[in-house]
Amino acid sequence: MWRESVTGIADLMRSDLLSSELEPAPVNRTQWANKGVRISSDRFDRDELFQLAEIARTTGDDQKLLQLFWDILAWGVMGNFRNAGRIVDFAATDDGRTRLLTALRTGATASHAGKIEDAYRGFVDHRVPRLGPAFFSKVLFFAGDRTSREPRCLIFDSRVESALPTVTGTSYSLGNRPVTTYARYCRDMHAWSQEFGVTPEAIEARLYQLGKATENSRRAWLSAEVSLYREGGVPVTFDAILARTIRDRQSATAT
C-alpha cells in the first residue's frame, strides 16, 4: 500500500515516469515584442538563466537586471500571458520601473546571500501588481548561489504546490503566512535533498511534472489510487498510481 509521507520523496525520485531535468522552454518572442519587450532568446534552459543572473549580479547594471527579469518571466510564462501585459504596463511607468528594480535588487541580493525570508519580503514590500510567487520565486531561484550547501530560494509555482501534499501528505499553501511557509518549503526541500542524495532542483523538477500530470488536482491522483485498489490487479505503487493518473487524463482529453 502506497501512502503519502516524507518517504514519498524517495518514490518521487525513483519514478521512471518522471525526469530530474526539464527540457529547455521555448519562448514566444513575437508575443513579447508585441508588448514592447525584447527577449534575449527563443529558448532558455536553466543553466543559461543562471549565467544571465550572475552577469546581472556582478555588473550591478540595472538594465541587465531588468533584462534578466523579462527573460525569466518569458521562460516561466509558458504561453500563459494572462498577467504579463499588466506587469509590462506597470514597468513602463517611472514609478513602476523604480519599484520593480527595487524589488529585484532587494530580492536578488538577499537570495544570493541565502536569506530566504528577506528575499521573499523584497517582493512583498515592493509589490508589483500581478507578480505573484509563481513568477517571482523563479527570479529568486536564479538569483541564488547555486554552489551553496545551505538552503536557498527555490521555484514555488502552482504545479509544485499541488504536488507536495500528494507526495508528502503536508500542505505548503502560502495562506496567511507566505514568508514563513515559503521558507519552510525551501528548507524542507534542502533537508530532503540531503536525506535522499539529490539536488533540490531535481526534486522541484519532478514535483512540477507530477503537478502537471495531475493538472494540479490531488483528487485526480486519489481517484486513480482508489481505482487501483478496487481492481486489486497490481501492486499500488507510486508509479502505478501515476501511470493510471496519466492514462485517465489522456482518456478524458480524447473524449
Cβ(35)–Cβ(84) below 8 Å: yes
The pLDDT tens digits for 166-208 are 999 999 999 889 999 999 999 999 999 999 999 999 999 999 9
CA neighbor of 66 nearest in space, from 26, 44, 96, 27: 96
- DSSP state letters, 177-243: -HHHHHHHHHHHHHHHHHHHTS-HHHHHHHHHHHHHHTTT-HHHHHHHHHHHHHH-SS---HHHHHH
pLDDT computed for residue 255 by the predictor: 63
d(CA 144, CA 108): 7
Cα angle 54, 58, 64; round to 5: 70
pLDDT computed for residue 78 by the predictor: 58
d(CA 12, CA 203): 8
* pLDDT surpasses 80 at 254: no
In the chain, domain spans: 20-153+181-196, 218-254
pLDDT computed for residue 61 by the predictor: 97
pLDDT computed for residue 253 by the predictor: 78
Percentage of the chain with pLDDT > 70?
A: 98
The number of CA neighbours under 13 Å toward the Cβ of 68 is: 31
Residue 209's contacts (CB-CB under 8 Å, 6 or more residues apart) are 18, 19, 22, 159
Q: What are phi and psi of 44, to 5 degrees?
A: -125, 145
In the three-class reduction of DSSP (H, G, I as helix; E, B as strand; rest coil), residue 13 is classed as helix
Cβ-count burial of 124 within 10 angstroms (0-12 exposed, 13-18 middle, 19+ buried)?
Answer: middle
Lowest-pLDDT choice from 26-30, 106-110, 202-206 = 26-30
d(CA 172, CA 164): 7
Q: Which residue has the higher pLDDT, 175 or 17?
A: 17
The pLDDT tens digits for 140-155 are 999 999 999 999 999 9
Cβ(205)–Cβ(141) below 8 Å: no
Count the Cβ atoms, other than its own, within 10 Å of residue 181: 19
- Where helices occur in 113-199 by DSSP H, the ranges are 116-125, 133-143, 158-168, 178-196
pLDDT computed for residue 85 by the predictor: 86
- Amino acid occupying residue 196: F
Cβ-count burial of 108 within 10 angstroms (0-12 exposed, 13-18 middle, 19+ buried)?
Answer: buried
Cβ(148)–Cβ(116) below 8 Å: no
The mean of the pLDDT values for the chain is: 94
pLDDT computed for residue 5 by the predictor: 95
Percentage of the chain with pLDDT > 90?
A: 84
Q: Which residue has the higher pLDDT, 109 or 78?
A: 109
pLDDT computed for residue 231 by the predictor: 93
d(CA 42, CA 176): 37
Q: In the predicted model, what is the mean pLDDT of residues 78-94?
A: 83
